[in-house]
Amino acid sequence: MRLPLVALAVSAFAIGTTEFVVMGLLPQMAQDLDVSIPSAGMLVSGYALGVVFGGPLLAMATARLPRKAVLLVLMGVFVLGNLLCALAPNYPTLMAARVIAALAHGSFFGAGAVVAGHIAPPGKRAQAIALMFTGLTVANILGVPAGTWLGQALGWRATFWAVVALGAAALIAIARYVPVLHDLAPPRLGRELRVLREPQVLLALGMTVFGFGGVFAVFTYIVPILTDEAGIASHSVGAVLVLFGLGATLGTLLGGRLADWKLMRALMIALSTLCVFFLLFAATMHLKPFAIAGVFLIGFIGFIGGPGLQARSVQQAKDAPLLASTLNQSAFNLGNAGGAWIGASLLANGAAYPWLGVAAAMVTAVGLGLTALSAALEQRALRPALAACECGDSGM
């Protein structure tokens, strides 16, 4: 089982690196492309929207193909998109190339989760899927800081060339190590699509969009916050961004344990804490020590809710594993796109950077409200069953 999962994790590492590395290169890209910082930040939104719409569409278009073939095609699209990013002569071309690279993102993780779960031994399915997703986490620790340093030293295009090489290595690893899986039945699209009628499924996706969207209202612009607001030297930014990756890793690990404890309560605690943190960060981001600590805490507190949000979506759409995994990636990235757009809109209209923290708190508060609504509806649905059990017990 190990080598196929390593191949999937390498792919996840490449995808995670290209998704987040733009944030570390925002000033250089804006200057080279002759656009403003808010416009450069929209490259994050463009990628995220490519995931939002491309993931479900490609998942349905490739549903009848063997899973290994799907993974190879999607990684090929990813490599092509990043190659076009490295060669892009101007901002519109780069935006289009980012969207092409993003098309493979959501559907790759949807298909990859199905493959990882299928090849896992009995009782190891969740661990196998988690191992694949560690590639995303490691990308935040190693890929994004390394890509930032490389881009600052050799230009932002060098970073995309490095991602192309990563994607090519992942493509070779998938071809070599992932089995064909003749016994894996194709998903039933009709049954998978019917899951979208369920209110709790839609609520779970909404929780993901708003519960995670606030993170990117701030983190998309973390480099100018660190350099312009907190006065940190640009050559030190890469080292500071390592703290985000470490925080995201620790937050994800803790979030998984909390979700196994009590899922909805854990999400309420995580989102409440995130709201308070964003308001505190807005008030202290101009102070260098607090700005540096804030980078770690954005990753740590922001990602505590990640495993729970993912688990909630899959839990409520258990009869549609492919579409649930893909749609949840779309929901995360819709939050990314929305958060980056909110930040860009505020900055473009003259708002100071601290207002991004206030906006992030408001977005997260909406996610908290949807979580409370989902928990209340769940409790209401359980009451008749609990009443019936109590009546049965009293009659014995």
pLDDT of amino acid 395? 54
- Asked if residue 370 has pLDDT above 50, the reply is yes
Sequence-ordered list of residues with C-beta below 8 angstroms from that of 291, at least 6 positions apart, any chain = 225, 226, 229, 230, 232, 284, 285
Torsion of CA 320, 325, 326, 330, to 10 degrees: 120
pLDDT of amino acid 157? 94
- Asked if residue 126 has pLDDT above 60, the reply is no
Dmax of the chain from CA atoms? 78
d(CA 157, CA 135) in angstroms, rounded, equals: 22
pLDDT of amino acid 201? 83
Using CB atoms within 10 Å of the CB of residue 20, give its burial: 0 to 12 exposed, 13 to 18 middle, 19+ buried: buried
Q: Count, in order, helices (H) and strands (E) of the chain.
A: 16, 0
Structure confidence by residue, pLDDT tens digits, 305-344: 877 787 777 677 666 666 776 777 788 888 888 888 899 8
Sequence-ordered list of residues with C-beta below 8 angstroms from that of 372, at least 6 positions apart, any chain = 268
Q: Tokens in use for 19?
A: 């998704």
Q: Residue 396: pLDDT band by 50, 70, 90 thresholds?
A: very low
Q: What is the mean pLDDT of residues 105-130?
A: 72
Sequence-ordered list of residues with C-beta below 8 angstroms from that of 173, at least 6 positions apart, any chain = 6, 7, 10, 11
- Asked if residue 346 has pLDDT above 90, the reply is yes
d(CA 178, CA 5) in angstroms, rounded, equals: 8
Q: Where in the chain is the domain with CATH 1.20.1250.20?
A: 1-186, 196-396
Question: Is the domain covering 196-396 a CATH 1.20.1250.20 domain?
Answer: yes
pLDDT of amino acid 185? 61
State the residue for tokens 């979506």.
313
pLDDT of amino acid 72? 92
Among the listed residues 328, 332, 131, the one whose alpha carbon sits nearest the alpha carbon of residue 215: 332
E-strand ranges in the chain read: none
Q: What is the CATH number of domain 1-186?
A: 1.20.1250.20
d(CA 51, CA 101) in angstroms, rounded, equals: 9
Structure confidence by residue, pLDDT tens digits, 134-184: 787 788 778 888 888 898 889 999 999 999 999 999 999 999 988 877 656
Task: Please indicate whether residue 197 or residue 296 has the higher confidence score (pLDDT).
Answer: 296
State the residue for tokens 């990684």.
75
Gyration radius (Cα) of the chain, Å: 21
Q: What is the mean pLDDT of residues 223-252?
A: 85
* Long-range CB pairs of 283-291, under 8 A, 24+ apart, other chains included: 283/354, 283/357, 285/225, 285/229, 285/230, 285/353, 285/354, 285/357, 286/229, 286/230, 286/354, 287/230, 288/230, 288/231, 288/232, 290/230, 291/225, 291/226, 291/229, 291/230, 291/232
Average pLDDT, the chain: 83
pLDDT of amino acid 319? 66
State the residue for tokens 């690990």.
253
Task: Please indicate whether residue 393 or residue 367 has the higher confidence score (pLDDT).
Answer: 367
Structure confidence by residue, pLDDT tens digits, 79-106: 999 999 999 999 999 999 999 998 888 7
